[in-house]
Amino acid sequence: MNSATSLPPSPPRNGSMTSLLAGIIHDAQRLLSQQIELVKVEIKEDIRKTLTGVAFIAAGAGLLAVGGLLLCFMVVYLLAWAFPGLELWVCFLIVGGALTLLGVTLLFAALRRFQSFNPLPEQALAGLKENLQWQTNPR
């Protein structure tokens, strides 16, 4: 039996094991920094898309408000014309009450929708959290 084949391999010399561990730590730190950078990029992209959407919503809402206001006045005067016995203030009350009820309903529906929305990049944050846990407690 050859004694060279029965002995376990000796550890590498000249600090190779230390350099290997240092390389592993360096790679883990690099991975962590890359994941942090990925989260930053995803958040910036989400913010950019959100701001673009908000700009379109604001422009549309402004035009809708002006058009809606003009249509409301038209409906008030249409009611006053169609029912000559109604006072003008009653026509304003009818149209204003109907629009207020519709507006409150739409606001509650929008609030429910926004409560289910999560703007954070969940997958990237989960990977980052996993790597942070590994670096603080590598078992």
Reported pTM: 0.46
Helices (H), the chain: 3-6, 16-82, 88-115, 122-136
pLDDT tens column, 42-98: 999 999 989 999 999 999 999 999 999 999 999 999 999 999 999 999 999 999 999
Mind listing the pLDDT tens digit for each residue in 95-109? 999 999 999 999 999
Domain boundaries, the chain: 17-136
Give pLDDT, residue 89.
96
In whole numbers, what is the pLDDT of the chain averaged over residues?
85
- Per-residue pLDDT, 135: 72
Contact between 95 and 79 under an 8 Å Cβ cutoff? The reply is yes
